[in-house]
Chain A
Amino acid sequence: MSEITVNEKKYTLSSEQEELTLLDYLREELNLIGAKNGCGEGTCGACTVLLDGKAVRSCRTSMKKVIGKSVLTIEGIKNNDGSLHPMQQAFIDAGAVQCGFCTPGMIMQSMDLLSRNSNPSREEIRKAMRGNLCRCTGYQKIVDAVELGASRLQNK
């Protein structure tokens, strides 16, 4: 049986579902629309989700590789009481959101970074997130947001 976990819920895959990409599975089968399709070739980062805690491009991840693993999407990161994750709040407070198409992927990528480095410098943030494209913001406020989110998480 092909079982996976998405945002802490368990799902069993049908054989057709095993043929999908993770992005199509999330968007079309589970109606989790937060991960976006910006390029379909793994170069924009808009479809980024965490697979067993690591950032992956869901458009280039086949469901076969997800079997037995756990997926976390933007829809799954709020606190249990429904309040925003500090990183989500930081993106709002820093003014890092314009069109918002890159935002879910950016936030997921930053969570991957913070899991490895809880107090990254601006340089380190830029390096770790260079695979995520944004055409609106010029990136500066996204770097601000990740810095702010990291410091809030540390002071928790």
Chain B
Amino acid sequence: MKSCFRNDAMRKVCGEAKFGDDFRFHGMVHAVPVYTEYIHAENLSLEIEDARSMPGVLSVFTWEDVPGELTAGQINQDYPIFVKDRIRSNSDVAALVVAETRMQALAAAEKVIVTADVLAAVLDPEEALKKDAPVIPEGKDSNLVNHHIVRTGDPDTALAMSSVVIEQRFETPFVEHAYLEPECAVCVPREDGGLEIYGSMQHPFSTRRFVCAYLGRPLASVVCLSHAVGGSFGGKDDTASVVCARAALAALKLNRPVKLLLKREWSMRESYKRVPYKMDYKVGFDGDGHLTGAISKTLADSGAYTSTTPWSTWRSTVQNMGPYKLENIRGEVLGVATNNVFTGAFRGFGSPQTNFAVEQIMDMAAEKLGLTPLEIRKRNALVQDSITITGQKLDNHTVSLMEVMEKTAETIDFERKYRNSSRGKGGKFYGIGMAASYRGCSVGAEAMDFCCATINIQFDGSILLDTAVFENGQGAVSAMMLICAEELGVPVESIHYQASSTASIPDGGTTVASRGTLVGGGAIKDAMSKLKPILQEILYPEIAESPDQVSFHDNRIWGTEERSLTWSEAGHQMYLSRVYPFAFGSFQAPRVSWDEENGQGNAYFSYVYSCQAVEVEVDPEKRSCRLLNVVATHDIGKAINPPMVEGQIQGGIVQGMGMALTEDFKIEEGRIKSLNFSKYKIPRMTDVPDMLTQIVENHDPLSPTGAKGIGEPAMEIIAPAIANAVAAATGERFFSLPIKLKKEIQA
């Protein structure tokens, strides 16, 4: 077993790692949110006097107490800290009760009375786009949140001339992130007027932006500190931030440390979900199985607020037709506001949805044409120098789609097993399926993309690293430390990382898009290119004839003729020379471009190539589906911490498997019914088999370390692979998730 480096593993196995709820401060008081029974309503009025007079209650805060903006957001500033006169979803919060103890706050929250005039609710994006639908967003004249398009060639003619046309609607549901740690925030007012925030934040800088917008404070007057976060998967941004902002508001007003811990039920009620899609695809193939043209229209349910739906749906536009060559396409993706719980970022960010459609369409066409799933994919796969549907020529990195597909198929023995699939015959049904993807690295043309790091060699030679990449549990910090150690030729134990905060390093962009290793690693490389000449210049006289003869390896600094210095000697020497052995490095993502009008451009500077295959057994009596085996192959450029990469792949597959089979998010008339794990079944240990992961490493020339990213590629294709395997097993296709064998299979 290859050993795995995690700087935080020791404290986590000892139960000593501190998550949000593990912080406590002298004089700390407790806050509890007040939800309402409404879905869509106006003329809100609040009676808070009874609650205020309950034992231990310090205050009840509402919109009237908010010093800054009532709403904030990453794209549209529409997400309220407290609702004012209009309620837009059952997840909205009307007030915050603060008391000496949590029990007292809970009791008092019951006494807040909210009344409002009910408005008709719109819960379906198709309904919401109708002319007479009530308009949900403030100050807009329709419920359309965004409209992205990708178009090239003449898809109408191409479809008319196709031998095979697949026309189908696919649907994907709300999906709960189900990070095991519910949101918690602790805000400590400092005697110097600053605010210190601890909490389950995916990205401290994002939280700071939200907090400062709501509180009307300068960014520099608030510090968000990083510490252990119990998973995020894209889900601890807007909601976690508003939780922090509420705690901060109370702390500021009361001048006491305030903790706001969400119960699991509140977390599932309030937090944003994966954006549900309704996708209508019409895709043509010629007689040899080559794609000819595609027309698609996707409606994405943004829920009551915008969050990152426009970015999520943008990715769905760029990757609208999977990793395949296609010259004629018109793809549209519309984000639409409804009165459902709002939706936004979730690992995969718009591509697990489109992949569910496209990767089934490939198999559906293969069945009609008498090709195997592997063969039809090979005939259409993007290869070196191919042009994507957005007009981007893939010539600046290794296009390894064929390699990952062939490797997957070979390892799992796909062709033979596919021939032997049951197709609804026999006792227990056996089936195998595959899916492939290419995934744009980092955020691409959807947002700014740069990051930074500092390296600070101390007087005694110990090495202090800081980066603007934050730990959510994925192992980001460990990867940063490994890159730094390798650059300096020291053991990783020599690298020290002091929990970064918004006051220790400049903002490096959000913890999203599987970008941490790539952009943080790039920033470290840049810092090294500045730090090393500083060290070489000062240290060379003792050990070499010129600065360029000084090198860094085997935990020492080497010159010529076996002369060398320890790091401690070097630290002293730097001090005596009065030169700072300190460097600030940054990484700027290579330029990307986008023409919104036609959806054309170099959307991402590089891509990750992936293929996964899965074997299933369907029991027609019990109507259950069991995974027997999974093989996953990903070209991630370079694996910095291979065992962690494996862990990311395995974890991603199991999340995708949950979306495919076990997770049935219940929301009825705008009210969420899946409020805890008893009502929302994420996969358990017995639901998943051992998986085989294969890492392909074609170092990416545009990434300074060669590494790309793995968090999201890991989870974005297993759902369609399972759907394809179920189809091979049962002879039936399932076009919506989760796959419900119970209703539809005839025993």
**A95 pairs with B644, CB closer than 8 A:** yes
**A122 pairs with B690, CB closer than 8 A:** yes
> Given known contacts A37-B21, A93-B4, A98-B473, is B231 in contact with A44 (CB within 8 Å)?
no
Residues facing A in B647-703 (CB within 8 A) are 647, 649-655, 676-678, 682, 684-686, 688, 690-691
Distance, CA A132 to CA B181, complexed state (A): 14
Distance, CA A56 to CA B8, complexed state (A): 26
Q: B111 interface residue, CB < 8 Å from A?
A: no
**For chain A, which range describes its interface: under 10, 10 to 19, 20 to 34, or 35 or more residues?**
35 or more
**A97 pairs with B6, CB closer than 8 A:** yes
Distance, CA A136 to CA B14, complexed state (A): 18
Q: A135 interface residue, CB < 8 Å from B?
A: yes
**A88 pairs with B13, CB closer than 8 A:** yes
Residues facing B in A94-142 (CB within 8 A) are 94-95, 97-104, 107, 122, 125-127, 129-142
> Given known contacts A135-B655, A138-B650, A144-B1, is B231 in contact with A126 (CB within 8 Å)?
no
**B13 pairs with A92, CB closer than 8 A:** yes
Q: A150 interface residue, CB < 8 Å from B?
A: no
**A140 pairs with B229, CB closer than 8 A:** no
Residues facing A in B1-30 (CB within 8 A) are 1, 3-4, 6, 8-10, 12-19, 21-22, 24
> Given known contacts A99-B181, A135-B682, is B14 in contact with A40 (CB within 8 Å)?
no
B177: chain A residues at CB < 8 Å are 135
**A134 pairs with B678, CB closer than 8 A:** no
Distance, CA A93 to CA B655, complexed state (A): 24
A41: chain B residues at CB < 8 Å are 264, 676-678
B473: chain A residues at CB < 8 Å are 98-101, 136
**For chain B, which range describes its interface: under 10, 10 to 19, 20 to 34, or 35 or more residues?**
35 or more
Q: Render B84-122 as a binary contact track against A, CB cut-off 8 A, 1 for contact.
A: 000000000000000000000000000000000000000
Q: A12 interface residue, CB < 8 Å from B?
A: no
Q: A74 interface residue, CB < 8 Å from B?
A: yes
Which residue, B9, B475, B678, B686, has most C-beta atoms of chain A within 10 A?
B9
**B13 pairs with A84, CB closer than 8 A:** yes
B22: chain A residues at CB < 8 Å are 33
Q: B474 interface residue, CB < 8 Å from A?
A: yes
Distance to closest chain B CB from A112 (angstroms): 14
Closest residue of chain B to A24 (Cβ to Cβ) is: B102
Distance, CA A33 to CA B649, complexed state (A): 30
Q: A25 interface residue, CB < 8 Å from B?
A: no
Distance, CA A97 to CA B654, complexed state (A): 16
Distance, CA A136 to CA B231, complexed state (A): 7
> Given known contacts A94-B1, A136-B231, is B685 in contact with A129 (CB within 8 Å)?
yes
Closest residue of chain B to A38 (Cβ to Cβ) is: B180
Closest residue of chain A to B648 (Cβ to Cβ) is: A98
Q: B559 interface residue, CB < 8 Å from A?
A: no
Distance, CA A146 to CA B700, complexed state (A): 36
Closest residue of chain B to A142 (Cβ to Cβ) is: B685
Closest residue of chain A to B474 (Cβ to Cβ) is: A98
Q: B643 interface residue, CB < 8 Å from A?
A: yes
A132: chain B residues at CB < 8 Å are 685
Distance to closest chain A CB from B529 (angstroms): 31
Chosen A-B contacts, 24 in total, with CB atoms closer than 8 Å, are A35-B15, A38-B264, A40-B263, A40-B676, A46-B180, A74-B13, A78-B14, A84-B14, A95-B644, A97-B9, A99-B179, A99-B473, A100-B473, A103-B13, A104-B13, A107-B13, A134-B180, A135-B233, A136-B180, A136-B474, A137-B647, A138-B647, A138-B653, A144-B1
Sort A-B residue pairs by CB-CB distance and give the 9 closest, nearest first.
A34-B15, A99-B473, A100-B12, A138-B650, A95-B4, A101-B230, A74-B15, A138-B654, A95-B643
